[in-house]
Amino acid sequence: MRAVIQRVLEASVDVDHDNVSRTGGGLLVLAGFHRDDTEEDIEYIINKILGLRIFDDERGIMNLSVTDVGGEVMLVSQFTLYGDVRKGKRPSYSSAMQPENASEFFHTFVDTFRTRYDRVQEGVFGADMRVSLVNSGPVTILIDSTKLF
């Protein structure tokens, strides 16, 4: 599992010109799922996201987590995080989880996240989303659970 975490002042998701989700300050998480991911990967990624100390403390040092500052979290599925462009110019997504499995996996990710933190919004799996954000910093972190094993 891969996640791109961006510290944001705000984030929103629109589908078909309708706003489906909006957050204030906190994190935007773009999540991609590998065909071999398990719930262990979900737990690892959630623990990392909730523990990331990327918000400033009173001295201006990145020393606080999203839970410490009471920020919101926007979760958006993005299979293109597994795009492989090592050969040719068109990305191969052969290592990405198949859509039918990824849909269920994304919802498990969201549900599990919500059991750990209640300030969570989500995008719409498989939709043509317009994701807007105001990056803060900018601060962008990449987490990959497969580097664990």
Q: Mean pLDDT across the stretch 41-67?
A: 97
Domains and CATH numbers, the chain: 2-147 (3.50.80.10)
Which residue among the candidates 79, 105, 109, 113 is catalytic per the annotation? 79
Which residue among the candidates 6, 23, 78, 121 is catalytic per the annotation? 78
* Catalytic site includes residue 80: yes
User: Residue 148's pLDDT is what?
Assistant: 57
Residue 85 pLDDT greater than 80, yes or no: yes
* Catalytic site includes residue 121: no
CB 73 within 8 A of CB 27: yes
Strand 2-15, strand 18-23: pairing: antiparallel
pLDDT classification of 146: cutoffs 50, 70, 90: confident
Q: Mean pLDDT across the stretch 11-19?
A: 97
Exposure string for 41-70, b = 16+ CB within 10 A, e = fewer: bbebbbeebbebebbbeeeeeeebbbbeee
Q: Mean pLDDT across the stretch 99-103?
A: 96
Which residue among the candidates 38, 80, 98, 140 is catalytic per the annotation? 80
Closest CA to 27 of 130, 127, 122: 122
* Catalytic site includes residue 33: no
- Spell out the residues 6+ positions from residue 71 whose beta carbon is closer than 8 angstroms to its own: 24, 25, 26, 27, 55, 119
CA distance 110 to 95: 22
